[in-house]
Amino acid sequence: RLRMPVTLPGAMVLGAAVAGNRGSGMTAAADAAEMTGRWLAAAGVNIDFAPVADVNVRPSNPVIGIRSPGAFPDVVGDAVTGQVSGFDAAGILSTAKHFPGHGDTATDSHLGLAKVTHSRAQMRRIDLPPFQDAVDAGIPAVMVAHVTVPAVDSKPATVSRKVVTGILRDEMGFDGLVVSDSLGMGAVASRPNLYRDVVAAGIDVLL
């Protein structure tokens, strides 16, 4: 991991800026992402697995927290959109994560398989709008989370064709790169036929 020579505001700070003033907040998000992107480009890196597009509606969430711009879909979407434009200005590919939403989970997917108990209607109202905003803004890549959404499929999203192809590709119209979260994470690492099933779900890049 690279350490930048300056400390930039984190996602939740950018979300607070957007909530305070949408225009200047989105500009701040773009500026922070562009600065990060230029630093990465100088080091020879051409993709950043950011921004986080999760709507953190569970205060006790053990893994997302301040990595998310906040608990309101419109605020998160605006912060993400600003960051997409900033990374693009720096010539860096950005990645919205963790699809279809890791903001209302009680489990850290680095350690175990997390579950999102939202209905499809709740997903459309809470979890998916920031990702749709990112898609509409032309984001080049989306990272899929190791979470189950029983309302859609009993299988983890990473190996779910219903999630990756059905929702992200077909319903939301995303035609860029689909990236898995790390396949060494505790949520899926011991799953049989993991790599075959990830590819079959429609994921392009396996981490």
Annotated catalytic residues are 110, 181
Q: Which helix (H) or strand (E) segment is 149 a member of?
A: strand 147-149
**How many Å apart are CA 204 and CA 207, to the nearest integer?**
10
Contact 115, 107 (CB under 8 A): yes
H-helix or E-strand spanning residue 147: strand 147-149
DSSP state of 114: E
DSSP secondary-structure letter at 182? P
